[in-house]
Chain A
């Protein structure tokens, strides 16, 4: 046997060494022994130290070769679907979901070719097991623009059982989630939102002389020449009185 057995849950130094040398922060470690048959450990690193590690046992495995059909090209960005309410109940499952998203999501892109969406990874949490299935997408005609989906099972499928976990402490996790200031969404000033969803905006105006406002001219309310003369006379008399 080999002299350098790595046990991820006992000793993380060799994992951290490999991560540092290869500058990788996601890892997957498979092993098989009598006590833990068909063991898979997936984990991620923060700053070359182990952040989260989750051990999964594989119960049913169907490989790519066992299912004989055409596959999708390597490197397609998969669509990820998580089904089952278990994924939000326990902290373990929530971290597992976050870890699986991190692992399988692929590079972040800003545009995606709609016809190129071919690969779907579906995770179902049921009765303490996680069913991982990969399907190939077939777009069928429906009456309208959005196509109807038909799925064809393509890729590896695994039935996973959650074994041990080594999750990061809360403050380490918080530290790793910190976003730099530049990426935080900028708050717009003078805009507020109601609980009902109405958006309010504030505009700041300079002082206005309301008597000189340009309003709609109603012909009936226009001052007649006779009235204007009487007004002027009144103003003159007022001025004399003041003085």
Chain B
């Protein structure tokens, strides 16, 4: 009898468990595929139940959604959890779905000067420990950085060397040397960066006031100061008798009179070919730029006329507000795009004064 009751109890316990699990179990033909990093679940089962539902399958959709969500939640609740500030938080794995990137892969950076030298000489870096035993303080200190082991600027006693000026401040000397080293490092870092991005570092020659600067250096310093505003010097006033600076544009480089004979021959033949050809050669980029500049000038002139008329006729709204048309800076983007695309195309656009097609037929009326 007791045996019977034990069996009954076991059976009841099993039933109870099954009932509990029933609330959260869902039967599916095909298992769902989960990507928990993205909170994603894909159900590959063909939606047979829905097909017979009719035009508004809302209820069936909701039932399907409930089942799928239940399965996803079951998976999420299996993840390892931690407690973060009174909330239970599950640690998500990495997302497994591969999605295309937004931007292309970064190009490998060119080697810095030191890396080039090290590669040339075959120098390899030795692994050094981060902490060094410092006798003075009697503890392990960093090799470099904050509170490092042998910081010579922090010494409290410095012997004056025999050949040094007795009135010189040795502490200040050390601090100065450190500042110079830091500045030199910073300069080298910027130079490496500029080399990586193929940019030119703005040279600071003559910009540090020393008191012994020449007239040219002073002039240059003044120029640089003028251009160092937010509007790049466009609205800087000049002194009453100051003249506009000339020669501040790019210097033109000329080839030597005779040097590379092959290149000269090539250039001359190319010139003859262009002169002989029946079809005119059109540089599409230049043509479009010219066209756009002309249109801009026309528009500006019109706007000025309208504003004058408006003032005269007493504040007529005019078309000044709607004159925006297309985004004017789009020209900048279009230039490059056209130039890139059209260079290989047929050069026979001649005759058309408009020069190159406008994409999408956007015409400013």
- The one of A105, A145, A180 in contact with B40, judged by C-beta atoms closer than 8 angstroms, is A105
Q: Count how many chain B residues have C-beta atoms less than 8 Å from C-beta atoms of the other chain.
A: 67
Minimal beta-carbon separation of B151 from chain A (angstroms): 35
* Those 10 A-B pairs whose CB atoms lie nearest each other, nearest first: A143-B20, A176-B100, A11-B360, A142-B23, A83-B43, A122-B65, A146-B77, A79-B39, A25-B102, A111-B89
Evaluate contact between B40 and A80: CB separation under 8 angstroms: yes
- Contact indicator per residue, chain B 32-76, by CB within 8 Å of chain A (1) or not (0): 000001111111111100110000011001101110111011101
Q: How far is the CA of A240 from the CA of B51 in the complex (A)?
A: 97
Asked whether B6 is an interface residue with its Cβ less than 8 Å from the other chain, the reply is no
Asked whether A102 is an interface residue with its Cβ less than 8 Å from the other chain, the reply is yes
Q: How far is the CA of A14 from the CA of B337 in the complex (A)?
A: 12
> How extensive is the interface on chain A, given as a class?
35 or more
Residues in chain A near residue B182, CB distance under 8 A: none
Asked whether B138 is an interface residue with its Cβ less than 8 Å from the other chain, the reply is no
Least CB separation from A26: chain B residue:
B102
Evaluate contact between A149 and B100: CB separation under 8 angstroms: no
- The one of A13, A114, A120, A122 in contact with B89, judged by C-beta atoms closer than 8 angstroms, is A114
Least CB separation from B91: chain A residue:
A111
Evaluate contact between B97 and A7: CB separation under 8 angstroms: no
Asked whether B330 is an interface residue with its Cβ less than 8 Å from the other chain, the reply is yes
Asked whether A29 is an interface residue with its Cβ less than 8 Å from the other chain, the reply is no
- The one of A105, A125, A135 in contact with B65, judged by C-beta atoms closer than 8 angstroms, is A135
Residues of B within 8 A of A (CB): 16-17, 19-21, 23-24, 37-47, 50-51, 57-58, 61-62, 64-66, 68-70, 72-74, 76-77, 81-82, 84, 87-92, 95, 97-106, 325-327, 330, 333-334, 337, 359-360, 362, 364-365
Asked whether A147 is an interface residue with its Cβ less than 8 Å from the other chain, the reply is yes
Evaluate contact between A10 and B360: CB separation under 8 angstroms: yes
Minimal beta-carbon separation of B76 from chain A (angstroms): 7
The contact sample of 19 A-B pairs, CB cut-off 8 A, is: A13-B330, A13-B333, A44-B102, A46-B103, A77-B39, A80-B40, A88-B42, A112-B39, A112-B89, A114-B76, A120-B65, A124-B47, A126-B57, A142-B23, A148-B23, A149-B69, A153-B58, A180-B105, A180-B106
Least CB separation from B62: chain A residue:
A151
Q: How far is the CA of A190 from the CA of B120 in the complex (A)?
A: 35
Evaluate contact between A115 and B88: CB separation under 8 angstroms: yes
Question: A45-B102, A46-B101, A98-B99 are known contacts. Are A153 and B62 too (CB-CB below 8 A)?
Answer: yes
Minimal beta-carbon separation of A181 from chain B (angstroms): 9
Evaluate contact between A46 and B40: CB separation under 8 angstroms: no
Evaluate contact between A131 and B61: CB separation under 8 angstroms: yes
